[in-house]
Structure 1
Amino acid sequence: MDFNEVDEEEFGFSRNYFLAKELGGSGKKSGRKLSDINVVDEQELRTAAANIKPKHQKDIAALINSYKSLYPKWAFELRCGFGLLMYGFGSKKALIEDFASTALPEHSVVVINGYLQSVNLKQVVVCLAEILWEQLKSKRRTPSGNLPKIQQPISSRSMDDLLAFLNEAQMEENDSFICVVVHNIDGPGLRDSETQQYLAQLASCSHIRVVASIDHVNAPLLWDKKMVHTQFNWYWYHVPTFAPYKVEGLFFPMILAHGNSNQSAKTAAIVLQSLTPNAQSVFRILAEYQLSHPDDEGMAIDNLYSMSRERFLVSSQVTLNAHLTEFKDHELVKIKRNSDGQDCLYIPLAAEAIEKLLSEIN
């Protein structure tokens, strides 16, 4: 084959290629849409995923036992002032909670579920301040023998005041601390810069130690050098567990699956079951009102307070507000202003989903 024949063959290929592109562009476009795809129901998909048989159970059990042998070392590092950061494939929720309950029985533990869409960090800091305040009152172990000055109620103090109290409070035991467990410190509710700065300040307090997990590959980009080495003072541990993200995955929609009322009710029920019985009963009042008054814009907060107090579920407006904060943080309840200018509460679920939710929490 000479060069002329090669050139002719290449020219013919190029001409056919551009001719095909021209004809393809001028043809009719497909009328199919992405919405026409018959996606799987989310509940069916989750059920199928839950029925997958686990593999390599013996190897995974041996791996977890090897981590448990490190518990004394981890506890020692916390006493030395380090924070523990766990990373690796698989859910680390069960591992970290087992460590906290097994190796830190004499310490108070507060858990932050960072995998939730929204987290009320102020409420967490208030809880920590109240725990430390109670410890100081019971032990009376400040250098002067007096309690540090902090005005009550603690919940009304600003974040800066609460962090200052946590940092300045002193006790005789240098290794006494409150452990803060943060599941998915890189979660969607904790990723903003302000929240990470507050977490770093919290981790640097004298009687606070943080044990956290990360799963996102870009999680270290959340922190600067000062936060990593001075405030969090991370001690990194690669602890792949290969455990499924069962709890964490409940709060994220599955790809190629559409949600339904069953799944919405199931997710909300899981959140409600983690709350107190009184909080569940307050939510039930709101749900029953919304079902019996479908045309209303919502339930007035004053009406909810009156009904809750009549049933001895709350003792004051402050108690009700605490329950409502839990509901709003977990997106179980929303507030809107009605036509009369009054703030009303409503559950952002269809009537069918609310009925299923009530049957779930029964």
Structure 2
Amino acid sequence: MEGGQEQTREENADLDEEEQDFTFSRNYFLSKEHASGKKSTATRKLSDITLVDEQKLREAVAEITPKHEKEIKSLLRRYKDSYQQWFFQLRCGFNLLFYGFGSKKLLLEDFCNTSMVDNGVIVINGYLQSINVKQVAVAIAEVFWNQIKNNRKSRSKKSKSFDSEPIEDILSFLDREHCDDDNFVCVIIHNIDGPGLRNSDSQQYLARIASCSHVCIIASVDHVNAPLLWNKKMVRKQFNWCWYHVPTFEAYKVEGIFFPLILAGGVAAQSAKTALIVLQSLTPNAQSVFKIIVEHQLAYPKEEGMPRSKLYNSCRERFLVSSQMTMNSHLTEFKDHELVKTRKHSEGQDCFYVPLNTEALEKLLLEVG
């Protein structure tokens, strides 16, 4: 019993020392602020950021005159000399992954139109957010089935639909031995690292599709962290990539249409972007505290906001703050940046809320992650 009391006293003493250290540090920097006449906190606010209308910005971008067109065409002609090597590697069981600055859409499609005329080709636009991996597998299976049917002597078989079949059965069909092993389907995936394919499940299924004996993959990546999508097994045994650095310096005209511009957007998108710009200037802990407020607001949209006591308890449970003083410093920063506002609960308690609509909050939550 006495040992437990001594341990409690030690814990309380540690907390007191932590409070004192924090108070000392805060007072030191506050005194420096007053002495210099400058504020140490960032001065950017939501109201200070003005975004352009998206349509006007796209029109302005379209009017920009392309440069170095001759050099770009010459570069693409040089890549054509590698078509035969690329095709040979595909037939040896490798898959091709292209990276480098510039859109690789025209290059990959020209390669397939030139070298894959005798094989089925499917183009997957990974830069679209509505991509469905099951639909990709179904499309590949249907093209492969038609190849088998057309190469057989009896061509009376009807087209087969794979829509109702589980994806596991489709993968088994693509990987099993068939009467003519020369049949295979070439799948072009523009931006295999696109936003609609970045989740773990999609990449796992794509890796399994790539490992099927009757499928070859030609893909492009543009995100600097794209290799983090795959583990060693996926890279070496399933995708079995041959990596090629092919900077084309081509504009991302087609891919860019489906991405909202950073400096433009509708009301909800614009609000989410401006809030995100401000949030990126804050510490990771502050961002996590802000995320708690947003999650509560989405879960309880009819409430006045998140009560102070509830916010503090949630932050303590996630080890984001060690005291009320720490939480208050985060809240002060939120208010200074106009990210969070306060209103009174019916019982008189302060409640914190983000002055954005539901759509903007959902977009912001996805970006903050």
In structure 2, distance between residues paired with 1:153 and 1:60: 43
In structure 2, distance between residues paired with 1:225 and 1:26: 51
Superposed structure 1 runs of 4+ greater than 6 Å apart: 23-27, 29-32, 145-148
1:251 corresponding residue in structure 2: 258
The Cα of 1:250 is off from its aligned counterpart by: 1.4
**Matching of residues 178-257 of structure 1 within 5 Å:** 178-257=185-264
Letter in 2 for 1:252: F
1:79 to 71, 76, 91: 91
Letter in 2 for 1:158: P
In structure 1, distance between residues paired with 2:247 and 2:109: 15
1:50 corresponding residue in structure 2: 62
Letter in 2 for 1:192: N
The Cα of 1:140 is off from its aligned counterpart by: 2.6
Between 1:156-165 and 1:58-67, the stretch displaced more is 58-67
Query: Do the aligned partners of 1:253 and 1:259 also contact (CA within 8 Å) in 2?
Result: no
- Secondary structure, in 3 states, of the residue corresponding to 2:163? helix
1:107 to 119, 126, 137: 119
From the superposition, tell whether residues 129 and 34 of structure 1 become closer, same or farther in structure 2 (CA, over 3 Å): same
2:184 corresponding residue in structure 1: 177
- Secondary structure, in 3 states, of the residue corresponding to 1:211? strand
1:92 corresponding residue in structure 2: 104
Query: Do the aligned partners of 1:180 and 1:208 also contact (CA within 8 Å) in 2?
Result: yes
What is the CA deviation profile of residues 122-174 of structure 1, one whole-angstrom value per residue up to 9, with x for unaligned ones?
11111111112222222238xxx9999xx964211100000000101424353
What is the CA deviation profile of residues 50-79 of structure 1, one whole-angstrom value per residue up to 9, with x for unaligned ones?
211111222111111111111111111111
The Cα of 1:38 is off from its aligned counterpart by: 3.0
Unaligned 5+ segments in structure 2 are 1-28, 269-369
The Cα of 1:220 is off from its aligned counterpart by: 0.7
Please report the TM-score for the alignment, with normalisation by the length of structure 2. Answer: 0.59
Query: Do the aligned partners of 2:120 and 2:147 also contact (CA within 8 Å) in 1?
Result: no
**Matching of residues 339-354 of structure 1 within 5 Å:** none
The Cα of 1:118 is off from its aligned counterpart by: 2.4
From the superposition, tell whether residues 56 and 31 of structure 1 become closer, same or farther in structure 2 (CA, over 3 Å): closer
In structure 2, distance between residues paired with 1:55 and 1:196: 36
Aligned length: 240
1:160 corresponding residue in structure 2: 168
In structure 2, distance between residues paired with 1:110 and 1:227: 22
When the two chains are superposed, the root-mean-square deviation of aligned CA atoms in Å is: 3.2
Query: Do the aligned partners of 2:94 and 2:216 also contact (CA within 8 Å) in 1?
Result: yes
Please report the TM-score for the alignment, with normalisation by the length of structure 1. Answer: 0.60
In structure 1, distance between residues paired with 2:195 and 2:55: 23
The Cα of 1:23 is off from its aligned counterpart by: 6.3
Query: Do the aligned partners of 2:54 and 2:266 also contact (CA within 8 Å) in 1?
Result: yes
The Cα of 1:20 is off from its aligned counterpart by: 5.6
Query: Do the aligned partners of 1:40 and 1:258 also contact (CA within 8 Å) in 2?
Result: yes
From the superposition, tell whether residues 59 and 24 of structure 1 become closer, same or farther in structure 2 (CA, over 3 Å): same
In structure 1, distance between residues paired with 2:244 and 2:103: 14
Unaligned 5+ segments in structure 1 are 1-16, 262-362
Query: Do the aligned partners of 2:175 and 2:212 also contact (CA within 8 Å) in 1?
Result: yes
What is the CA deviation profile of residues 148-202 of structure 1, one whole-angstrom value per residue up to 9, with x for unaligned ones?
9xx964211100000000101424353x311000010011111111111110110
The Cα of 1:22 is off from its aligned counterpart by: 2.3
Letter in 2 for 1:180: V
